[in-house]
Amino acid sequence: MPYLLHTSDWHLGRQLYGRSRYEESRAFLDWLVGTVREKQVAIVIVAGDVFDTATPGNRAQELYYGFLHDMATTSCCRHVVVTAGNHDSPSFLEAPRALLSAMHVHVVGTGRHPQDEVLLLRDAQGAPELIVCAVPYLRDRDIRTVSDGESPEDKQDRLLQGIRAHYEAVTRHARALREQAGGGLPVVVTGHLFAAGGTVVEGDGVRDLYVGSLAQTSVDIFPDWSSYVALGHLHVPQKVGGAAHRRYSGSPLPMGFGEAGQRKSVCLVNLENDGPADVTLLEIPVFQRLEQIRGDWTTIAGRLSALGMADVPVWLEIIYDGEELIGDLRERIDAAVSGTRLEVLRIRNQRAVRAVAGLAAREDLDPAQLDERAVFELCMDAHEIPPEQRPELRLSYAEALRDVFEEDARA
């Protein structure tokens, strides 16, 4: 049995705070094509979120179709299986399905007909070699009926029941097909979902949707007799339920600064033996370095100085959480990165955020009894401005108020 390669969550077309990820995505796909050739991979599975939006731009489509073309020109890759993720448009992915099938590219966008998700893949001689349960991201309309007056908890329960029923139907078809083929074929099950116990990180776009909710799927929906479970949706490479043959491949690029420094990989799967497959993680090179710097000004300045010595471009997110109030934080950072290959994409002043949050939470503030100067005094209290700094700040504020009032008078 030849090698299978599992990848997911490409998010082609994604930007990071206004910066294009096109060059990174192109470099990854070039690396992936080279890896398929080097490892003589016969089957590639892309488990959802090919694109970052349902309406990808021309350059994102160029990357996708260029990759499929390159797969067709290899001497080893016989099949590519692509399933839709929650970011993908099922109809957009499936539109060229008939054309792509001539290149042995199998696209499954919707989960409405379980029998259509069971693929029998054949080897170079035409003999059956693998069954794939190509289950895409399951949307409400595919698996759940809406009832009047249902609560959010009822909705979650029905959604999970629908997912379970769908996997039962798909794997039932797969088991019957395997028995027809003699009972010895390996079976790979795909999915684009949040399996219970999965790990997410800040900024990956998944945490806000699921953490603390009920929409986490139990791992027992995947049958014990499956050889491998190829999942997408979570960006951290990880096992599922502690089993080495059930995995999230993770995203090939860090989707945000919360993933900066994370080691990205794809899964090389050997299905030669009976039972669970053997899996090797192939680490993906870093195509654009990201770094998140957090601390007081001394920590930030020191790290910027060290990074500035490197001769590689680095995109930065800086989180200031020191106690000192710094009014010219951005100016200091700009000066520190000037003349280097460092580019600051985002600055977060946690000191200011905490102060504003504390001020907004006060219940004893009566707007009718506060003038501009009283509000300013409260702001200085909230920011815990040292007494020796306050006279100069009051003077500057008074000058700013005077300018505003003079402008209003002229108007």
- For the chain, give every domain's residue range: 3-283, 289-410
Rounded Cα gap, residues 312 and 271, in angstroms:
40
| pLDDT for the residue 140 | 82
Give the count of alpha carbons within 13 A of 67, CB side only: 28
Residue 206 token pair: 């998944």
What is the CATH architecture assignment of 3-283?
Answer: 4-Layer Sandwich (3.60)
| pLDDT for the residue 397 | 82
- If one counts every other C-beta atom within 10 angstroms of the C-beta of residue 248, the result is 27
Q: Phi/psi class of residue 89: alpha, beta or left (left: φ > 0; alpha: ψ in -120 to 50)?
A: beta
Rounded Cα gap, residues 253 and 184, in angstroms:
36
Output the average pLDDT for the chain.
87
First vs last Cα of the chain: how many Å apart? Answer: 81
Sign of the Cα torsion 318, 14, 140, 230 reads: negative
Give yes or no for a contact between 98 and 106, defined as CB atoms under 8 angstroms apart. Answer: no
Q: Which amino acid is at 320?
A: Y
| pLDDT for the residue 409 | 47
Rounded Cα gap, residues 226 and 174, in angstroms:
10
What are the strands, taking DSSP E only, across 152-242? 187-192, 228-232, 238-240
Domains 3-283 and 289-410 belong to one CATH topology: no
Rounded Cα gap, residues 52 and 220, in angstroms:
29
| pLDDT for the residue 362 | 54
Cβ-proximal residues to 238 (8 Å cutoff; 6+ apart), any chain: 198, 199, 247, 248, 250
Residue 184 token pair: 């010895």
Write out residues in the chain with pLDDT < 50, as ranges: 207-214, 369, 409, 411
Q: Which amino acid is at 104?
A: H
Residue 139 token pair: 């949307």
- Phi/psi at 29 (5° precision): -65, -35
Q: pLDDT tens across 232-247, in order?
A: 999 999 999 889 999 9
| pLDDT for the residue 214 | 43
CATH class of 289-410: alpha beta
| pLDDT for the residue 187 | 96
